[in-house]
A and B are shown apart, each in its own frame.
Chain A
Amino acid sequence: MPINYYIFTALALFSIGVIGVLTRRNAIIIFMCIELMLNAVNLLLVAFSKLHLADMGNAGAKVLNNGTDAQLFVFFIMVVAAAEVTVGLAIIVMMYRNTHSVDVNFLNRLKN
């Protein structure tokens, strides 16, 4: 497949995540939309790694590591996302315990 299709697919997924973050007020759904955005970037990274592998096959250029670098970046993104979800859900649970709501509009009293 041409790389354009992957770029536009990842772009659409990322925009859906952005729309979800901007429109929903539920903290957990905002978190899930952040996961969507991270996955869009992951998909694009894997597609670009295979693009460079194809380039190397065609042009004979020496690309280091045959495109495994991008896939390792995806691996590290997953690791960081897992840690982020752990801490974020703990914060949401604490917020629910204090306010009995997960509405992020409720947090605007932090400004006082």
Chain B
Amino acid sequence: MNITQILFWFLTLMALGSALMVITSKNPVYSVLFLIATFFAISGHYILLNAQFLAVVNLIVYAGAIMVLFLFVIMLMNLNTETEPQKNKWLKFAGTIAGGCLLLVMVAALKDANTKSAMVMMKEGDSGLIQNLGKTLFNQYVVPFEISSVLFLSAMVGAVVLGKKE
């Protein structure tokens, strides 16, 4: 095993373990912290795949902004104790079985796909650099870019209207 494979398995185990801790921990604050760990692991995957711009944006937007928003809301509501009074064992059981069945079906469907020899290019290629992404973004995808700015504006106005007191 070379260093790339070791890093891949470490980041994969970190992402999956933190994701499991997100859905199993009782305290919502711990869930947010483990979700940040998951995002860091996914950013590590992006760096390993040479998508540096996405790695940095993932850290800034997700681990920085969105998770701070989540933590702020949790602190605002004083939810840092156990907040699920209703414990339905059968609901948890059925949900886990349903999700496991989804995983099983997808793995069974994709197990025999003809991708055995397809290798992902790692540590090389410059398509993830901000120069190439910016050229494509502002040439071919400039209309979705502008539409997303309108989406942000409407989301901001919607959040203010919803959060306003009467």
Interface residues of A (CB under 8 A from B): 1-9, 11-13, 15-20, 22-26, 28-29, 31-33, 35-36, 39, 42-43, 46-47, 49-51, 53-55, 57, 65-69, 71-72, 74-76, 78-87, 89-94, 96, 102-103, 105
Contact = CB atoms under 8 A, between A and B. Distances in A.
A1 B62 CA distance: 26
Contacts of B83: 26, 102-103
A23 B57 contact: no
Contacts of B92: 23
Interface of B: 4-5, 8, 12, 15-16, 19-20, 22-23, 28, 31-32, 35, 38-39, 42, 45-46, 49-51, 53-54, 57-58, 61-62, 65-66, 69-70, 73-74, 76-77, 79, 83-86, 91-92, 94-96, 98-100, 102-103, 106-107, 110, 113, 115-122, 125, 127-128, 132-133, 136-137, 140-141, 144, 148, 151-152, 154-156, 158-159, 162-163
A19 B95 contact: yes
Nearest to B92: A23
A81 B96 CA distance: 25
Contacts of B94: 22
A46 to B, nearest CB: 5
A26 B117 CA distance: 43
B151 A90 contact: no
A54 B49 contact: no
Given A1-B120, A8-B110, 10 more contacts: A4-B113, A9-B15, A20-B23, A28-B73, A29-B22, A35-B35, A36-B38, A47-B120, A82-B65, A102-B77
Those 5 A-B pairs whose CB atoms lie nearest each other, nearest first: A22-B95, A19-B99, A20-B23, A23-B95, A83-B155
Contacts of A22: 94-96, 98-99
B155 to A, nearest CB: 4
